Amino acid sequence: MFTALDFDRANIAQALSDNLLDDLGLTTNDYNNANTINLVCFLSAELPSQLISKKIGADLWIPTQLCLWSIVSISQAAITNKAGFYVTRALIGLFQGGFICDTCLWMSYFYKTSEMPMRLSLFYIANPLTNIMSALLGFALIRINTGLLPHGWQWVFLLEGIFTLLVGILSYFMMPASAAQTKTWYRKNGWFTDREEKIVVNRVLRDDPTKGDMNNRQPVSLKELVLSLTDFDLLPIYAVRFLGDLMTAPVSSYLTLTLRQLGFSKFDTNLLTIPANVLCIVTMIITGWLSERLQTRALILAFTATWCAACLIPLRFWPGTQVDVWPTYVLLTILLGRAPFWPLSISWCSANSNSVRARAVSAALVNMFSQAASVVGSNVYRDDDRPLYHRGNSWLVGVSIAAVLMCLATRQYYIWRNRQKARKWDQLTPEEQQIYRNTSRDVGNRRLDFQFIY
């Protein structure tokens, strides 16, 4: 399902390599505007989508999202002007918004907190893996030229959109409501035996009893929503995600355009995007495994930000008179092969929310900050700064350094908050501690007997 989403996000890169902008009479600034519209709609839909998912169930809402955006994706084959380009990008963003946070919350019912970083890293492999598959498909599809659809990019949108629609229809029948509700009339045996189902549920609840507070069709109330929105203890993670996504967003969205400007053909351009995605898969798995092994998020993310800064600094000071094509390509590949912040930041938010209600909202908010980073990032590279984008890259160097500092500051903040809670908790007698456990109205991460993960 995530692969289907990424197909309909990644195919714009293949369309760009096939001169989509020229065929529609658009400039790179028009492309920036379309990206901004798409991301604003994506961002705006995050929280409403999560609330709808909690109300009607992820097993119904997520497949519906898939079908809606795939229909719009197919319709992109018929766009002929700027207005059509803007409208379709807006609708795709609107219908895709919320899918990731909805799915991540749904996954949290199957795994313990300590297992989520690695599981989310495996989940997020869909992103770079789809970029690879989409590049290979794009290499073939953009060669199609018929009287019915004269441009290769039209076939990219049409055929990949049909694929995602089929995935959406199948998802209605393959996605269970929860770990305890995998049996239905068309899947009589379910995913688990009765014994396995008890093991799955009990191990998760023993790890985090708050996961039993809400069922999968129970909505978040207005009071609970406000309480979760005002959870200041999660703000540092949101800031880390914003900076972490921003520092590579412009380079990533402009990769195919940059490769074309370096002189590569539209066919070679699609294939040359593959190595960065392969490296991204490797680094993402390694960081997910290290996070579970070392029990740290902040330091690993700080290392990733340092990686990006080390690549952005030479990219910024690349000579303006003549660009060495292959060294530039290698540098771009290493930069975009970094481990993204996505899986660790979401698992970090999930762990530090400490309640289903807060987790439902924080999963949406952390992705909203990610989309906000993409909105800003889509306007960093401007037409008057091409082809080397020295001004934009200067800005990204500063962002990457700020990301390193923010990761370290967030780690220290949670250490301080844990000490603050521990002092108050240790002042209570054993009897008072038991009374607090049984009667306190403190919820989520505001409880004194909860310690933040960093």
- pLDDT tens readout for residues 438-454: 888 877 788 888 899 99
Q: Tell me: the pLDDT tens digits for 167-214?
A: 999 999 999 988 888 888 888 888 888 899 999 989 988 887 777 665
Q: Give residue 422's pLDDT.
A: 92
Q: Average pLDDT in the 221-229 region?
A: 69
Q: Average pLDDT in the 1-16 region?
A: 85
Task: Report if residue 337 sits inside a domain.
Answer: yes
Q: What is the rounded average pLDDT for all residues in the chain?
A: 87
Task: Report if residue 54 sits inside a domain.
Answer: yes
For the cut 70, the answer to whether the pLDDT of residue 151 exceeds it is yes
Using a pLDDT cut of 70, give the percent of the chain over it.
96
Task: Report if residue 453 sits inside a domain.
Answer: no
For the cut 80, the answer to whether the pLDDT of residue 407 exceeds it is yes
Task: Report if residue 451 sits inside a domain.
Answer: no
Distance CA 276, CA 258 (A): 14
Distance CA 41, CA 63 (A): 19
| Banded pLDDT at 220 (limits 50, 70, 90) | low
Using a pLDDT cut of 90, give the percent of the chain over it.
35
Q: Average pLDDT in the 147-165 region?
A: 88
Q: Give residue 321's pLDDT.
A: 53
Q: Average pLDDT in the 228-252 region?
A: 90
The CATH number of the domain holding residue 271 is 1.20.1250.20
Domain of 393?
Answer: 2-446
Query: Which comes out higher in pLDDT, residue 268 or 434?
Result: 434
| Banded pLDDT at 322 (limits 50, 70, 90) | low
For the cut 90, the answer to whether the pLDDT of residue 114 exceeds it is no
Q: Mark out the alpha helices in 18-146 (DSSP H runs).
A: 20-24, 28-56, 58-75, 82-96, 99-108, 116-124, 126-141
Contact 373, 241 (CB under 8 A): yes
For the cut 90, the answer to whether the pLDDT of residue 267 exceeds it is no
Task: Report if residue 143 sits inside a domain.
Answer: yes
Task: Report if residue 452 sits inside a domain.
Answer: no
Contact 451, 418 (CB under 8 A): yes
Query: Which comes out higher in pLDDT, residue 360 or 326?
Result: 326
Q: Which pTM does this prediction carry?
A: 0.77
Task: Report if residue 213 sits inside a domain.
Answer: yes
Query: Which comes out higher in pLDDT, residue 222 or 133?
Result: 133
For the cut 70, the answer to whether the pLDDT of residue 320 exceeds it is no
Give Cβ neighbours of residue 278 (< 8 Å, ≥ 6 apart). 128, 132, 337
3-state SS of 71-94 is: HHHHHHHHCCCHHHHHHHHHHHHH
Helix (H, G, I), strand (E, B) or coil at 2: helix
Number of domains in the chain: 1
Q: Tell me: the pLDDT tens digits for 366-401?
A: 888 888 898 888 788 887 877 778 888 899 999 999
CA 5 to chain centre: 11
Distance CA 292, CA 284 (A): 13
Q: Average pLDDT in the 263-279 region?
A: 84
For the cut 70, the answer to whether the pLDDT of residue 216 exceeds it is no
Distance CA 164, CA 315 (A): 36
Q: Which of 354, 357, 101, 112 is nearest to 218 (CA)?
A: 357
Contact 250, 378 (CB under 8 A): yes
Task: Report if residue 454 sits inside a domain.
Answer: no
SS3 content of the chain, % helix, strand, coil (to 5): 75, 0, 25
Q: Tell me: the pLDDT tens digits for 41-69?
A: 988 888 888 888 888 888 999 999 999 99
| Banded pLDDT at 219 (limits 50, 70, 90) | low
